[in-house]
Structure 1
Amino acid sequence: MTFKTQILAAATALMTLPVMAAADTIAIITPSHDNPFFKAEADGAAAKAEELGYETMVLVHDDDANKQSELFDSAIAAGVVAIILDNAGADASVAAVQKAKDAGIPSFLIDREITETGVAVSQIVSNNYQGAQLGAEEFVRLMGEEGKYAELVGKESDTNAGIRSQGYHDVIDQYPELEMVAQQTANWSQTEAFTVMESMLQANPDIKGVISGNDTMAMGAWAALEAAGRTDVIVVGFDGSNDVRDSILAGGIKATVLQPAYAQAQMAVLQADQYLKTGSTGLDEKQLMDCVLVNGDNASQLETFALQ
């Protein structure tokens, strides 16, 4: 065989080898990473996806349903194989998830549900009602079953906000000496919670406690209370963030309720991987994960939305 013939034979052999496709990509779409809870979700999902050999496309919708819809368009156009989503509204997100389904791309929801079933493959959420009852029971204990209190409520479009508030009140309202003197949304925002708390304090200077729909608002409330010299006020949050852990350990905020953001996101990726390989997760669409109370007794064990 001449040298030229050898080259031609080698070239022909190379042409017949199977082409190696780029790794499949999973899109991870959450609210802003300014909130450590959502950053933990994104980090957890990305870490597990990359461990399983996927590439990732990490996107942020900023709780804007229109932006979320555009991100879905981008993910679909990019040919992602699955979407992990913490959505931008229970009603407003249905169309986007359906759009992905129609394009043959399965969605796996975490943290927040949507109002339709059969559109997403999985909806993995914390048991917000159970967690809220844990937080409320601790709040009642810390308050000594009496006194005036305020409630900071989450974003109205998020079903979790209503579920947590209901869980709080199903416990607290059993105690007639506990009087709610103010209730207002701060839209899950620390900055907004600071302003709302200032107004609540001005209107109710004898307030004794604050129960919050999430840790971010609890941190904003605590900052306002500190600025006003009212560190005697009892504050309880919900999420299990490192920021609130540090506040608890420093004698500030008294308690929070841990929902396992990192583990939940990783579970969604594992289910996506199972579904892509077999066509089924083997589980029900709606799945609840129980929450855990965090206070001075176990706060030192909390790290990145998980008890170590």
Structure 2
Amino acid sequence: MKKLLLGTAFATFAAAGGAMADGHSTTVCLITKTDTNPFFVKMKEGAEAKAAELGMTLKSFAGKIDGDHETQVQAIETCILDGAKGILITASDTSSIVPAVQQARDAGLVVIALDTPLTPIEAADATFATDNFLAGELIGKWAAGTIGDTSTAKIGMMNINVSQPTVGVLRNQGFLQGFGIDLGDPAKWGDETDPRIVNNEVTNANEEGGRKSMENLLTMDPGVNVLYTINEPAAAGAHETLKDFGKVGDVIVVSVDGGCPGVQNVADGAIGATSQQYPLLMAALGVEAIKKWADEGIKPEPTPGKAFFDTGVALVTDNPVDGVPSITSAEGLELCWG
């Protein structure tokens, strides 16, 4: 299963990249949204391991919370001054970060977006990411198939924050399309007019945000029966509120990430389905790409037919729906992170 999901990404990169030379003098920076979310912890582990393997120096930076744009700008400035060859970044504000990214590129650094495409995507030299729209679409289709009569749905939407980073927009819009809801402007969330949507909440992608958002949604409509969550920490917080309200069995909960705690929540029934990503792979391939750039001046190519390098996604559920490909939680635990 691991070869099936991840082998294509490795093979595609190997064909484009070739052998790596000794890189004792090459410095690469990793800038993540936070250093506490398990997704970014695993991303850092992948970057550290690959940098050590290639004899590179890795310098890591992170925002204080998801949405901490200024700290990320300061990190870019530090990387430029330190003489880094490249930057890997998961941007908190995908449009506001662009001038700082351009400053780095003008200084000769290669900048690769991880997981979260910049706005526009061409603002980075390359993007290594899950197809986040597809990740959302998979959980949307699964939720629609699980509820059966979608006309009875009362949907709560849990997003990241008001800045609407691309990863949040893509997952949100993918979910809605997968569920069968007409989109407004696909470049943003919250402008849909479908009456089945109870509200769009923001969670800062953490448990406390999920807990409060679930309280808000149930206050607005106690009949909420479908819940989209931006990630598994938000879903875990929502689950605690659902327990407090005695509504655990009344709400179909879906999420995205595929971390080990989240997949375990699928196995335990707290989350119905989640779309699994591979952050260690994203970061490792990103480090290799910067090494390739430093040694040979060659930038990575996107996956054919896409504007980014696709590192794969798989739906994890123990209650499969016809027509929606998935793996079990047991299989997901073999591939998980965090």
- Greater displacement, 261-270 / 179-188: 179-188
- 1:244 and 2:226 aligned: no
Match of 1:220 among 237, 241, 245: 237
Which position in structure 1 is the counterpart of 2:252?
234
Match of 1:153 among 145, 155, 159: 159
Which position in structure 1 is the counterpart of 2:176?
169
CA–CA distance in structure 1, aligned partners of residues 213 and 254 of structure 2: 16
For residues 88-237 of structure 1, the aligned pairs below 5 Å read 88-116=92-120, 119-146=123-150, 147=152, 148-157=154-163, 158-173=165-180, 179-232=196-249, 233-237=251-255
- Give how far 1:107 is off: 1.3
Residues 156 and 162 in structure 1, CA contact (< 8 A), matched pair in contact too? no
CA–CA distance in structure 2, aligned partners of residues 280 and 303 of structure 1: 36
- 1:272 and 2:274 aligned: no
Cα offsets for 1:42-92 (capped at 9, x unmatched): 111121111111121111123322211111122222222221111121111
Assess, with a 3 A threshold, how the Cα gap between structure 1 residues 117 and 37 changes in structure 2: closer, same or farther.
closer
Identity %: 24
Match of 2:273 among 250, 255, 276: 255
For 1:154, the aligned partner's letter is I
Number of residue pairs aligned between Structure 1 and Structure 2 = 286
- Give how far 1:306 is off: 4.2
Which position in structure 2 is the counterpart of 1:286?
308
For 2:314, the aligned partner's letter is V
| Structure 1 vs Structure 2 CA RMSD | 2.4
State the secondary structure of the residue aligned to 2:138: helix
State the secondary structure of the residue aligned to 1:96: helix
Residue ranges of structure 1 left out of the alignment (5+ in a row): 1-20
Which TM-score applies when normalising by structure 2?
Answer: 0.78
For 2:58, the aligned partner's letter is T
CA–CA distance in structure 1, aligned partners of residues 200 and 92 of structure 2: 23
Cα offsets for 1:185-232 (capped at 9, x unmatched): 223232112011012112322222211122221111111112222111
Which TM-score applies when normalising by structure 1?
Answer: 0.85
CA–CA distance in structure 1, aligned partners of residues 232 and 205 of structure 2: 8
Assess, with a 3 A threshold, how the Cα gap between structure 1 residues 305 and 155 changes in structure 2: closer, same or farther.
farther
Residue ranges of structure 2 left out of the alignment (5+ in a row): 1-22, 183-193, 319-326
- 1:295 and 2:317 aligned: yes
Cα offsets for 1:126-167 (capped at 9, x unmatched): 111111111101111222233322111223430121222211
Residues 213 and 238 in structure 1, CA contact (< 8 A), matched pair in contact too? yes
For 1:214, the aligned partner's letter is N
CA–CA distance in structure 2, aligned partners of residues 304 and 68 of structure 1: 33
- 1:79 and 2:101 aligned: no
CA–CA distance in structure 2, aligned partners of residues 282 and 249 of structure 1: 37
- Give how far 1:105 is off: 1.7
State the secondary structure of the residue aligned to 2:257: coil
State the secondary structure of the residue aligned to 1:238: strand
Assess, with a 3 A threshold, how the Cα gap between structure 1 residues 189 and 51 changes in structure 2: closer, same or farther.
same
Assess, with a 3 A threshold, how the Cα gap between structure 1 residues 226 and 280 changes in structure 2: closer, same or farther.
same
For 1:60, the aligned partner's letter is A
Assess, with a 3 A threshold, how the Cα gap between structure 1 residues 117 and 294 changes in structure 2: closer, same or farther.
closer
For 1:210, the aligned partner's letter is L
Residues 49 and 269 in structure 1, CA contact (< 8 A), matched pair in contact too? yes
Assess, with a 3 A threshold, how the Cα gap between structure 1 residues 69 and 178 changes in structure 2: closer, same or farther.
closer
Assess, with a 3 A threshold, how the Cα gap between structure 1 residues 114 and 223 changes in structure 2: closer, same or farther.
same
CA–CA distance in structure 2, aligned partners of residues 57 and 93 of structure 1: 19
Which position in structure 2 is the counterpart of 1:47?
49
